[in-house]
Amino acid sequence: MAMTDVLSAEDIKKAVGAFSAAESFNYKKFFEMVGLKKKSPEDVRKVFHILDKDRSGFIEEEELKFVLKGFTPEGRDLSDKETKALLAAGDKDGDGKIGADEFATLVAES
């Protein structure tokens, strides 16, 4: 499954482009711009599974670094600071990774 099966290619391009500058990533604005916030819980879960590259059932810190590339190959890598901030926002149980339910909560809070 491709990200464009769930989200519009135009929205993805705009959202990723808006955060192309280093240290500019804001997950709340990004999820809104990309259209994820308006999606059904089922679609949010599909996006989670696309971002969970190693299919572990979690998005670990290493995968978060490449979250924008998960939406489009043209996306940039997040900085360590941005990655840690995203992990801190999403990791509600403190286990160092984001599960599907935590991801859904993160999107809903944005």
60 is in an annotated binding site: no
40 is in an annotated binding site: no
CA-based radius of gyration for the chain: 12
80 is in an annotated binding site: no
11 is in an annotated binding site: no
Evaluate whether 107 touches 31 at the Cβ level (below 8 Å).
yes
5 is in an annotated binding site: no
58 is in an annotated binding site: yes
Q: What element of type H or E holds 48?
A: helix 41-51
DSSP class of 43: H
95 is in an annotated binding site: yes
Indicate the annotated binding residues.
52, 54, 56, 58, 63, 91, 93, 95, 97, 102
Indicate the annotated binding residues for Ca(2+).
52, 54, 56, 58, 63, 91, 93, 95, 97, 102
